[in-house]
Amino acid sequence: EAEVAQSPRYKITEKSQAVAFWCDPISGHATLYWYRQILGQGPELLVQFQDESVVDDSQLPKDRFSAERLKGVDSTLKIQPAELGDSAMYLCASSFGFNYGYTFGSGTRLTVV
Amino acid sequence: EDKVVQSPLSLVVHEGDTVTLNCSYEVTNFRSLLWYKQEKKAPTFLFMLTSSGIEKKSGRLSSILDKKELSSILNITATQTGDSAIYLCAGATAGTALIFGKGTTLSVSS
């Protein structure tokens, strides 16, 4: 069964350091999403891509977060500098489009110390 | 502001019980309502409900969309310990981005 690949699975970083997460969606899925899930909360959208273009990044804290999907396939989410409040699960998901459910990757659990 | 509200936030039942999880939504340009199950990792897809498919069933799980009340329920019959998880409800907008509720944590004891 096709999967959304994410790495790393776990990341511990010190406050003010840079950190990056990688996501490879299911082949053929043009739409890619990055979500952040704080413990006890539902996932919140950070950024949505359609191919290589950003469709929605209104909730992305652009002073410290950046995301790219240069060739419209895999994607990288970066945080620089990391803050304690960034500790969360970062989920990547992809889909064919509206009439299809999302497929989520296993997520990256970030702990900022 | 778009929002999805789930209730209860947590629930403890005994094996064999039937449970009903609730979800209400206020989503601009609503397209569909989705349910996910999350067990300490990424959410896994359960159902998608749209105007053309307001009732879905899979084994012991079923879900209904009430377009008039802007709500949905997820029913689980004959619960098992393996049903213990967080159940997430999400509304999809015209742009296909999902807006999630906080989830309902279900604990099934043997």
Cα four-point dihedral sign B57, A98, A20, A88 = negative
Q: How far is CA B30 from the centre of its chain?
A: 16
B83 — phi, psi (to 5°)?
A: -85, -10
CB contact under 8 A, B43 and A45: no
| CATH tag, A5-112 | 2.60.40.10
Mean pLDDT of B40-45: 86
Residue A65 per-residue DSSP state = E
> Which DSSP string corresponds to A77-108?
EEESS--GGG-EEEEEEEESSTTS--EE---E
Delimit the domains of chain B by residue range.
3-109
pLDDT at A98: 61
Assess whether pLDDT exceeds 70 at residue B66.
yes
* Contact present, A11 and A108 (Cβ < 8 Å): yes
Least confidently predicted of A30-39, A67-76, B90-99: B90-99
A22-57 tens-digit pLDDT: 999 999 999 999 999 998 889 999 999 999 999 999
Assess whether pLDDT exceeds 90 at residue A4.
yes
**Cα–Cα distance measured from residue B4 to residue B55, given in angstroms and rounded to the nearest whole number:** 19
B45 touches chain A (CB under 8 A): yes
Q: In a mutagenesis test of the A interface, which of B52, B87, B98, B99 is the best target, namely the one with the most A β-carbons within 10 Å?
A: B98
Assess whether pLDDT exceeds 70 at residue A8.
yes
CB contact under 8 A, B100 and A44: yes
Assess whether pLDDT exceeds 80 at residue A97.
no
Q: Tell me the nearest-neighbour CA distance from A31 into chain B, angstroms.
A: 9
Structure-token match 């569909």, residue found = B32
| Top-confidence residue, A47 or A71 | A47
Among B35, B33, B63, B36, residue whose Cα is nearest residue B50: B33
Name the percent of chain B lying above pLDDT 70. Answer: 98
**Helix/strand/coil percent split, chain A, to 5:** 5, 50, 50
Mean pLDDT of B1-5: 91
Q: In a mutagenesis test of the B interface, which of A6, A37, A57, A100 is the best target, namely the one with the most B β-carbons within 10 Å?
A: A37
pLDDT at A101: 74
Q: In a mutagenesis test of the A interface, which of B96, B102, B104, B105 is the best target, namely the one with the most A β-carbons within 10 Å?
A: B96
Task: List strand residue ranges (DSSP E) for chain B, in order.
Answer: 3-7, 10-14, 19-26, 32-38, 44-49, 55-58, 61-66, 71-76, 85-92, 98-100, 104-109
Mean pLDDT of A79-108: 90
CB contact under 8 A, B31 and A98: yes
CB contact under 8 A, B95 and A55: yes
The DSSP bridge partners found for residue A111 are A12
A43 contacts on B by Cβ (under 8 Å): 43, 88, 98, 100
pLDDT-derived band at B52 (thresholds 50, 70, 90) equals confident
Delimit the domains of chain A by residue range.
5-112
| CATH tag, B3-109 | 2.60.40.10
Comparing CB atoms, the residue among B32, B41, B102 nearest residue A106 is B41
